[in-house]
Amino acid sequence: MKLYNSMSRSIEDFMPYHEKEVKLYTCGPTVYNYAHIGNLRTYIHEDILEKALGFIGYDVKRVMNITDVGHLESDADDGEDKMLKGALRENKTVWQVAAFYTDAFFTDCGKLNIKKPEIVAKATDYISKYIDFIKTLEDKGYTYFTNGNVYFDISKFERYTALSKLNLDELRIAHREGVEEDTFKKNPQDFVLWFTKSKFENQAMKWESPWGVGYPGWHIECSVISLSNLGEQLDIHCGGVDHIPVHHTNEIAQTESYTGKPWTKYWWHAEFLIEPKGKMSKSKGEFLTVSLLEKKGFDPLSYRYFVLGSHYRKQLTFSYESLEMAENAYFKLRKRTSSIAKDALLSSTDVLGKVENLTEEAQNLYGKFVDCLEDDLNTANAVTVLYDVLKSEVSTSEKATLFAYMDQVLSLDLLTPIDEKKVDASDDEVAWIEGKIIERTNAKKNKDWSTADLIRDELKAKGITIVDTAEGARWSKD
């Protein structure tokens, strides 16, 4: 298997610390609100990573943290406290907010067929271990105490910019722009390990510590939870690309200072899901959630199919039009794959035979699928192999068996019958919209502007927006 390593900025042969064991850590959600579909894009790709590793023969142990303790909106030590913000918004305690949105997160994951990690660790369950971790760093001379807070001194860690590849002078300039500087830091990039004093005087979550009553900095939880559950050396650490310059950089500094040895072999990062106006964010008012997609009539697995059509290291632009097209293709695909499985009397609960018992052509298709997974998780090509199987000359039984194997990773419910009314309705709606667009185009050519406007308004009333471009009219569903 080959994976892109953000540390080396190159695709590398995957060789874990122990031959067939993979210790995998994925940064989990901060549970102060629903996860938006941009967050969930990363979790879908991480799900594919875990399942692909298992599929090709590795024993994977995966850990995910749940950030249920106060965490500032910025990766640095500034911004708003997300948990407090959520509690004030909903007139609940921070504990109630954390419990509600933790459940909501895993409900969304279930709808997207994202497997729950073997170990899910709440940040608030590790307070005593954070304190022990900080005391060790303190004993080793990596910290300083000022203004009631314990800071990590980045000047004591030579490899601080190894992952980010950023110039510290440039970082200092960028850090100061629009941010109130913490004058108690020796270096602008020093980060807090334990707060007893911050701008949040009414912080709800506080604990006793050797430095006073307070709460941990955000970066510490991933280090301690990983060390506690996966040991001192980690094979793969996952997250979004926005974690590279600060959060993961700080994790490396504190963890390797604590253990005195190299920590993570492969740093894996997923790119953003973006909207035409830029990166998807929860701070822009109504943000896109799985529930919102469902309210608009979309199947959550259509979104999973849409996500798998792009590589995890490429930005993916979301629009309702593109999701509509993906859903149409997904429904048609699943109608065919489930029909084949029905004809072959094979269900997802059947025990699969050995690949070696398949015909040579079927084995080649299986191998082609595995090659796609091993090529830095090329999910788009892996989905294409499904269509290769459909077009192939292998028997119905072997096609069904191949779909069953592939769905162990893709998790698109390929063998589960789909309501054919969904497929028909999807086809009918797209055909109707495109027919209306053709009518409008012809009206405009004939300079019949009133008819063109009427058609535009008719589509708009049904939530369809038309944008005229040099290449022709494009539509999207609100």
pLDDT < 50 positions in the chain: 72-75, 174, 176-178
Rounded Cα gap, residues 329 and 418, in angstroms: 13
Domain ranges of the chain: 17-270, 278-410, 425-477
| Helix segments in 12-73, DSSP class H | 37-55
SS3 of residue 474 by DSSP: strand
pLDDT in tens, 357-415: 899 999 999 999 999 999 999 999 999 999 999 999 999 999 999 999 999 999 999 99
Give CA separation, 23 vs 64, 164, 236, in Å: 11, 23, 7
Q: Which contacts of 470-476 are long-range, i.e. CB under 8 A and separated by 24 or more positions?
A: 472/441, 473/437, 473/440, 473/441, 474/321, 475/321, 475/433, 475/437, 476/319, 476/320, 476/321, 476/324
* Rg of the chain taking only CA atoms, in angstroms: 25
The pLDDT score that the predictor gives to residue 76 is 52
Q: Is position 109 annotated in a ligand binding site?
A: no
Strand partners, 270: 240
Query: What does the alpha-carbon distance between residue 283 and residue 86 come to, in Å, rounded to a whole number?
Result: 12
Amino acid identity of 105?
A: F
How far, in Å, CA of 299 to CA of 413, rounded? Answer: 12
pLDDT at 73: 44
Please report which residue ranges of 267-393 form alpha helices under DSSP H.
Answer: 290-295, 300-308, 320-343, 360-374, 379-391
pLDDT for 157: 97
45 is in an annotated binding site: no
Write the DSSP assignment of 132-190 as a string of letters: HHHHHHHHTT-EEEETTEEEE-GGG-TTTTTTT---HHHHHHHHHTTS---TT-SSTT-
CATH assignment of 278-410? 1.10.730
Name beta bridge partners: 120.
64
CATH fold for domain 17-270: Rossmann fold (3.40.50)
Distance CA 218, CA 131 (A): 13
Angle at 206 between CA 34 and CA 68, to 5 degrees: 20
Whether residue 362 contacts residue 398, with contact meaning beta carbons closer than 8 Å, is answered with yes
Query: How many angstroms separate the CA atoms of 445 and 433, rounded?
Result: 19
Is there a binding annotation on residue 27?
A: yes
pLDDT digits (tens, 9 = 90+) for 239-264: 999 999 999 999 999 999 999 999 99
- The amino acid sitting at 92 is K
Q: 321 CB contacts (<8 Å, ≥6 apart)? A: 474, 475, 476, 477
Identify whether the C-beta of residue 270 lies closer than 8 Å to the C-beta of residue 241: yes
247 annotated ligand binder? yes
What pLDDT was estimated at residue 172?
64
Vertex 471 angle, CA 467 and 472, to 5°: 50
Long-range contacts of 428-434 (CB under 8 A, 24+ apart): 430/324, 430/328, 433/459, 433/464, 433/475
Using CA atoms, how far apart are residues 412 and 341, in angstroms rounded to an integer? 14
* Phi, psi dihedral angles at 120 (to 5 degrees): -115, 120
261 is in an annotated binding site: no
How many CB atoms lie under 10 A from the CB of residue 290?
Answer: 22
264-270 and 234-240 beta bridge pairing:
parallel
Inter-residue contact 298 to 323 (CB < 8 Å): yes
